[in-house]
Amino acid sequence: MDARDDRGRLSDYDRKRDFARTREPHGSAGHPDGAGGRPIFVIQHHVARRDHYDFRLEVDGVLRSWAVPKGPSTDPREKRLAVPTEDHPLDYADFEGSIPAGEYGGGTVLVWDTGTYTNTTHKRDRDLTMAEGLEHGHVSFRLDGEKLSGGYALSRFRTGAEEAWLLVKAKDDEADARRHPVAGSPESVRTGRRLQQVADDEGRTLTGRELGQQDAS
């Protein structure tokens, strides 16, 4: 288990943000209400410098996070690149809106999917906690979301400054090679909005610029 205290675990998150400009929640670790004791997950579609999906799993009071450029798949044959990013506070699971251009991650965010998950990580003769599995470089889990369900795994294939993982769907009853959830279900599970609607509602472009300003994209 990570020995850092909650404040230290979110220090990178806090350091990268000017909370006088962004409505993102302040960094504080804890446990969400109403999850019935099961850890949560959230996948947020995020248009910043690059369009990607932020895949987040609750682990020891924070959201461990990866940027998945192509988003998750329901086809076990597809291996999706997942690049680790800084831990996020649990409150971030509800964040949907516009991060101002010029701020870290400036652009539009919507809650693409959310729910709870069950850790199924096992190594040799014992079960591992999520923190242990992540330390070893492999975790498996079952999602119970509105768009995604069933088994998935995250496996690290590169360490160091360019650390990278793969997100892969398990071969189970929920696997479906014909389904394309990213393309077929682009709306927010929180509000039903699409990215452009989220940006319009906040008076900004998709990349976080005030309407009327030239968009860098």
**Pairwise CA distance, residues 87 & 155, whole Å:** 18
- d(C-alpha 146, C-alpha 155), whole Å: 24
Exposed / middle / buried, residue 64 (Cβ in 10 Å: 0-12, 13-18, 19+):
buried
Q: What percent of the chain has pLDDT over 90?
A: 85
Q: Report pLDDT digits (tens) over 12-44.
A: 999 999 999 999 998 765 554 445 589 999 999
Indicate if the pLDDT at residue 143 is higher than 90: yes
Residue 29: the pLDDT is: 55
Confidence of residue 9 (pLDDT cuts 50, 70, 90): confident
Per-residue confidence (pLDDT) for residue 36, from 0 to 100: 57
Specify the higher pLDDT residue, 192 or 9. Answer: 192
Distance CA 202, CA 214 (A): 16
pLDDT tens, position by position, 50-100: 999 999 999 999 999 999 999 999 999 999 999 999 999 999 999 999 999
- Indicate the pairing of strand 122-123 with strand 126-127: antiparallel
The per-residue pLDDT for 124 is 86
What's the chain's Rg over C-alpha atoms? 17
DSSP state of 160: G
> Residue 175 pLDDT more than 70?
yes
**pLDDT higher at 79 or 211:** 79
Whether residue 6 has pLDDT greater than 70: no
pLDDT value of residue 8: 66
Mean pLDDT within 142-149:
98
pLDDT for 31: 53
